[in-house]
Chains A and B, each alone.
Chain A
Amino acid sequence: MSQLAQPTLGRAPVALAPTQPLTLRINGENRTLNVAPWTTLLDALREYLDLTGTKKGCDHGQCGACTVLVNGKRINSCLSLAVMQESEDITTIEGIGTAEELHPLQQAFIDHDAFQCGYCTPGQICSAVALLKEGRGKTEAEVRDLMSGNLCRCGAYTNILSAVMEVVNAQKA
């Protein structure tokens, strides 16, 4: 069994990259922060800018909880480094709508009870906002497929689908 012991890693500490000032355009505002190149967009939002509406569910691009919009396109912010987004237009859940002025999808999520614990919800909503812009997802079957990158362990899928379809159909009308 001894061959299963952890091998010596042989990894001496390397010189660490210094932090550098970085300006990100988030929800229409320029925000400057000091980060090293290894900081993901997700960690930049949550740990450096206190924009904690964007969630970390796996840190591996497997769950979709960290979905944000970059130039209107949905991405997993855990798979992107903050320094890669310097000149881009980033939208997080905080920029989708406010308590006083909810986005129609946010209102539809409340009306259809499209969440339980709420942890995947910002990612689901950002993903659906982008889906509406993509010009795809006109039928229930398409929406089911195109929203399948966002996991929900509470199993609110039936109600998420109803919420998204309400807004899809309102746009069609």
Chain B
Amino acid sequence: MHEFKLPDLGEGIHEAEIIKWHLPVGQVVQLDAPLVDVETDKATVTIPSPYAGRLHWVAGEVGDTVLVGKVLAVIDDATAGMADEPPPPVVAERKSVSKGQAVEQKALPSGSDLEKKTSPPSAPYAREAPSSGNSAPPDSLPSSPRPAAPATRRLARELGVDLRLVSPSGPAGRITPEDVRRHHQQQVLPEKRPVAGGSAPSASLPNLSSPNLKLVPPDPRDEREEEPTTELSELVGIPFLQVDPLPDFERWGPVERMPLRSIRRKTAQHMVTASLVVPHVAHMDEADVTLLEEFRRQEKPKRTGQAGGSLSLLAFVLKAVAAGLTENPEFNCSLDPVAQETVFKKYIHIGVAVDTPRGLIVPVIREVNRKSILQLASELEQLVARTRDNQLQPAELVGGSFTVTNIGALGGTGLIPVVNYPEVAILGMAAARPRPVVVDGEIAIRTMLPLTLSFDHRVADGGHAARFMNELVRRLGDPHALLLET
């Protein structure tokens, strides 16, 4: 009997959704044969069976979420009897510990007092949903804390994180400092409880108990003096924000309901976060890419069939953006509101938004400033193909410092992209098309590429954006300068 735990699927990935079991319980699986497909935040992975034997028990059905490090399946030795054995003890044990998998906190029989002490301040948390993707209902939160080292517990208190809500990544369900920080980041920073007033009781506000809006427990420092501080419910929410229960759409015609699955759900979460956290400004301009397009037309036939032979416009844009980011580091940073610091990244890793049937996926090209246009074009070809074929490794989806989204191939005269938080800027490319423009007082036909830089006004101003875009437009308008300067 082997317990197979969901393996580490890459940095920052703590859970996965079961998409498909390749065989039903009771069937025999060969070593390394496909066992299960799981989907993480951005990629779908087929996990092969590490054992040969009969699939005895599985952790969940399609659509269930499993935490990294938790038992995913139990596989019997192939030689073990196929008879109707009672369910393996492992299953029973899992059930019995799932409620209170936390460390026992008592030392002595009189410890019931301690239990009281160690439970967190309580009430305000009661209605909060568990962290993202965790399918457990709130009332199944363990009452005693999960194992975490003392320094981690202190960090949680500093950040106002309730350890019971954190998805652990360590062995035996141990919570690491990274888990706490990750959870904290997910607690949208300016989050507040929605205004309690109004006619809608909180129970009818299901959307607001979503993982995106979570309470920050009161800072203990605020209440060390005098009476305990004011009730949380008195804290101000977002004025006028009122999310009413959805109407019954079927009143107006038939509808079909589809579950929100991982990539879509993750995108929703990410976009709500970005639009709440980032004060967006969009700066727009057009690049005259006539010469660049001519250059590409001339060069392309010479490189047919070679790596990077497509010489995509995006490769040139990436190169020009990388030069601009070197000159304007305020678009290649992140804001750390906890430390009150700006984090400037000394690398230029650019995410490229790729439209796939499964949803929007943003693989990252590393060290763009150190690569030639030909290398970038070649890497883009492979990356796009592998993204669409669902071949990406989770590590290829993280670590970007800037994002470019190119909707131009599909059309459009302009777009206002949403910043890929915690990045601070994103460049949107619409369709490059021949247009009548005024050149030296005359109307001429030029190929124009509409560009939009959406950025986080907390870290940069309109002046920065204008200078960044002027240089970008200049370089894209002058391929010689682009080749010489970058």
Query: Is chain B found bound to chain A in the same assembly?
Result: no
Interface residue ranges, B against A (CB under 8 Å)? none
Interface residue ranges, A against B (CB under 8 Å)? none
